[in-house]
Amino acid sequence: MEGVRVAGVGLTHFGQTPDRTGRELFAEAAEAALADAGVDREAVAELHYGNFMGALGERQGHQAPLMAEAAGLSCPATRYELACASAGAAVRGAVRAIAAGQADVVVAGGMERMTNRAIEETTEALAIAADELFEVRAGVTFPGAYALMARSYFEEFGGEREDLAHVAVKNHENAVPNEYAQYRKAITVEQALSAPIIAEPLGLYDSCPVTDGASALVVVSEAYAEANELDASVAIVGSGQGGDALALQSRGDPARTPATDAAAMEAFADAGVGRGDVAAVEVHDCFTIAEVCALEGLGFYDYGEAVGAARRGETTADGDLPVNLSGGLKAKGHPVGATGGSQVVEMTRLLRGDHPNADAVDGTVGLTHNAGGTVASAVVHLLEVVE
Amino acid sequence: MEGVRVAGVGLTHFGQTPDRTGRELFAEAAEAALADAGVDREAVAELHYGNFMGALGERQGHQAPLMAEAAGLSCPATRYELACASAGAAVRGAVRAIAAGQADVVVAGGMERMTNRAIEETTEALAIAADELFEVRAGVTFPGAYALMARSYFEEFGGEREDLAHVAVKNHENAVPNEYAQYRKAITVEQALSAPIIAEPLGLYDSCPVTDGASALVVVSEAYAEANELDASVAIVGSGQGGDALALQSRGDPARTPATDAAAMEAFADAGVGRGDVAAVEVHDCFTIAEVCALEGLGFYDYGEAVGAARRGETTADGDLPVNLSGGLKAKGHPVGATGGSQVVEMTRLLRGDHPNADAVDGTVGLTHNAGGTVASAVVHLLEVVE
């Protein structure tokens, strides 16, 4: 894919801000992205927006035109919903529109509010990303589903809780300098292992928090960037999406996530780069086991090999393939409808060099991986510094 | 736009089927569309799916991969939500993917269940398409909002309840031969005028019903259609989308719907055809006044002129510009997340000549118009017989 540039990026602080409205959060992220891009609102042709649980959590559907208005945009707006991959889908819609020459300037991103109600209600709202008839009614929640995946993984490939603890320790460490992160607090392996168990074998530190926040990107055509002398040095060079059965029970092997494999295959083919070119990765670590499965599905590790990657220091900031330099969903936070956009924002800043962890990136290509449900949906983007 | 063909179309019967699951409904429509196209499931590269209120009505989010699985498709799937224009947005996503060469065969469509719970709950769920902070909390429901639009229209341009009654009479008449329609029952102007008032000046027959149903299309590239000798004589030649402030109070004039104007302008420019070329139109008549506003926004009538169009016989089946030959949302029914797809299905059959009202179409170009909320979103497609 050619000719697609990230001209500007914006985020709210990720955290617990129950009193801030959704429109307030998204407007802040969009305003930051437009200012970063140096693009006027009038130039924006489309808004591609991700949100997951606004119907349940805010009684607000039809959020796309609402968010356009809040951000001061007078353009058509579309909402994408793909559970926790909603903003990944929105970014993909935006990228495809630019790549196809259907628009020159678009805004993509997402927003989620998760702490404006009782935690039980948020847990119930998250559960609608699973199969209502065959999973939710049987009592499945996402910690339980990912615990099943972890147990299957351990049984098939080996690995232990301490391996996963190193994933959490790494991602917390990465979040410390990130001003947008929910938890800027380093933890130890001992802390992770001694924390309360949520769903065996996953403990508190294996799980991402609930988070309010928004993300936004200004995506432009290369021609527009040049004509308007924008500083848009990062290109989106590949996009891929994969799908799978919604219910975990319908999959062949709960320890594998083929939607990620499919998304990666499409994105790498689209970009014409190889896995060896990738210098940094942001993956969807809603639980520590999810990071392990993602790195294998993406093809950076063979099946069964990624579980020890953080423990061996391969995916830490000083490792060969730094993973989740933002802090990941685990420590940066996971406002579900915003996360896929946030990953591209973080990767853009890492590649541009204006991220506190940018020094860890030794190369010009980065990958983002956003997943929905128990990876019934996956969206992958490849970014590259082009000038 | 060139090279985008409709290869197959499918619908469920529109009506009240509270015991049928969403996956059952969509699978039926998709199966019909694939059979009509003569395309194997394995060839389908993407599913673009519309649904509005599944989170509230079925406690089921993340429906896109679920529907792909139900339809036997092994491909990435994306849900679009734009209130009652959700399937219009899904069709647009599908059309753009084909037009841009990003896929050769995709399925688009949508599904909604609206009668599996108390009508009060459905009314509350529909209301989330309006602004929760500034409309819903003030008691606005959609019959009330469209009544405001009708009153504004009458005040600014003239017109009376009897004009609107003729819209309802026309659309009921058109639905009589349509086997997919919810109400295959002709009504008289007197019946419409003497029916209970829902929100002055709109009565029962000015309002569409609540409906369960699904729609699906197989959209392919021209090259694929030729290589596989598909019977795909209808092309989608134009696509447009418009947006506006979500809340009616934020608009300059409640009697006009500028999102429709913008969507039409983009679609006509994209297609390179003029309004005079259009032989049949399916517009979003959730209320009779909405059909009037749509015909003016689309540019078929000057502002203030469309209110008498049905009464004058210009938009009836034997008029110069037949409108809603399917029966429209009014009589065919309005399963909100399926409607935008259903309109394209109906128009395809009208243009192909295999629709019971096809004889009323004197020409080769048709237009579909799908709207969300009080037209904060509008999606327009232009279809043309090309061989």
pLDDT in tens, B347-376: 999 999 999 999 999 999 999 999 999 999
Give me the pLDDT at residue A285, please.
98
How far apart (Å, rounded) are the C-alpha atoms in residues B261 and B257?
7
Question: Is residue B285 assigned to a domain?
Answer: yes
Q: What is the pLDDT of residues A88-142, one digit of tens each?
A: 999 999 999 999 999 999 999 999 999 999 999 999 999 999 999 999 999 999 9
Measure the CA dihedral B31/B35/B39/B41, to 10°: 30
Q: What would the pLDDT profile of B129-145 be if each residue is shown by its tens digit?
A: 999 999 999 999 999 99
- What mean pLDDT is predicted for residues B209-234? 98
Tell me: the pLDDT tens digits for B139-169? 999 999 999 999 999 999 999 999 999 999 9
The reported pLDDT for the residue numbered B136 is 93
CB contact under 8 Å between B129 and A56, yes or no, is: no
- Domain membership of residue A198 (yes or no) is no
Instruction: Choose the mutation target among A78, A79, A96, A266 for the interface with B, i.e. most B CBs under 10 Å.
Output: A78
The Cα–Cα gap between A64 and A68 comes to 6
Q: How far is B66 from chain A (nearest CA, A)?
A: 5
Has residue B316 been placed in a domain? yes
ω into A356 cis (within 30 of 0): no
Neighbours of A353 (CB within 10 A): 11
- pLDDT value at residue A12: 98
B124 occurs within a structural domain: no
DSSP state of A275: G
pLDDT of B128 > 80? The answer is yes
* Kind and range of the H or E run holding B35: helix B22-37
Give pLDDT, residue A70: 98
CB-count burial class (<10 Å; 0-12, 13-18, 19+) for A318? exposed
Banded model confidence at residue A53, pLDDT cuts 50, 70, 90: very high
* Token pair recorded at residue B207: 């309002």
**Domain count along chain A:** 1
Cα angle A42-A48-A51, degrees, rounded to a multiple of 5: 130
**DSSP letters spanning B316-366:** STTSSS-B-TT-HHHHH---HHHHHHHHHHHHHHHHHT-STTGGG--SSEE
pTM given for the model? 0.98
Please compute the mean of the pLDDT values over residues A299-311 and round it to a whole number.
Answer: 98
**Model ipTM?**
0.97
In a domain, B236, yes or no: yes
3-class SS of residue B221: strand
What's the average model confidence in pLDDT over B167-192? 98
**Closest-CA distance of chain B to residue A227, Å:** 23
To test the contact with chain A by mutation, choose from B78, B96, B257 the residue with the greatest count of A C-beta atoms within 10 A, namely B78
Domain that holds residue A14: 4-118+209-385
Residues within 8 A of A (CB atoms), B 229-268 only: 241-246, 250, 259, 262-263
pLDDT of A198 reads 97
Residue A387: the pLDDT is 77
Residue A71 C-alpha, separation from nearest chain B C-alpha, in angstroms? 11
Q: Is B137 on the interface with A (CB under 8 A)?
A: no
Please, what is the average pLDDT of chain B?
Answer: 97
Beta bridge partners of B281: B323, B367
Contact between residue A180 and residue A13 where contact means Cβ atoms under 8 Å apart: yes
Inter-chain contact A59–B93, Cβ cutoff 8 Å?
no
- pLDDT number for residue A368: 99
Chain B CB contacts of A243 under 8 Å are 47, 64-65, 68, 74-77
According to DSSP, the residues that pair with B203 across neighbouring strands are B197
In a domain, A123, yes or no: no
B59 and chain A in contact, CB less than 8 A? yes
Q: Do B132 and A59 touch (CB under 8 A)?
A: yes
- Over range B71-75, report the average pLDDT: 98
Cβ of A69 within 8 Å of Cβ of B262? The answer is no
So what's the pLDDT on residue A271? 98
- The full DSSP string for B157-204 is H---HHHHHHHHHHHHHHHTT-TT-S------HHHHHHSPEEETTEEG
By residue count, chain A amounts to: 387
Residue A38's region, left for phi above 0, alpha for psi from -120 to 50, else beta, is left
Q: Among A241, A217, A235, A220, which Cα is nearest to A345's?
A: A217
Question: What CATH number is attached to the domain comprising A94?
Answer: 3.40.47.10
Instruction: Give the residue from chain B lying closest to A239, CA to CA.
Output: B102
**Contact status, residue A84 vs residue A129, Cβ threshold 8 Å:** yes
Partner residue facing A81 (CB), from B61, B97, B259:
B61
pLDDT value of residue A205: 98
- Distance from B282 to chain A by nearest Cα, in Å? 21
Q: Is residue B326 a contact partner of residue B340, using CB atoms and an 8 Å limit? A: no
In a domain, B156, yes or no: no
CA-angle at B102, arms to A298 and A282, nearest 5°: 25
Select from B130, B243, B250 the Cβ nearest to the Cβ of A76.
B243
Q: Is residue A34 domain-resident?
A: yes
Q: Is B286 on the interface with A (CB under 8 A)?
A: no
B72 touches chain A (CB under 8 A): no
Give the model confidence (pLDDT) of B250-308 as tens digits. 998 999 999 999 999 999 999 999 999 999 999 999 999 999 999 999 999 999 999 99
Pairing of strands A202-203, A77-81: unpaired
Other residues' Cβ atoms within 10 Å of the Cβ of residue A35: 12
Mean pLDDT of A8-23: 98
Is A259's CB within 8 Å of B130's CB?
no
Mean pLDDT of chain A: 97
Selected for mutation to probe chain B from A1, A2, A48, A62 (highest B CB count within 10 Å) is A62
Confidence of residue B387 (pLDDT cuts 50, 70, 90): confident
Check CB contact under 8 Å for A79 and B82: yes
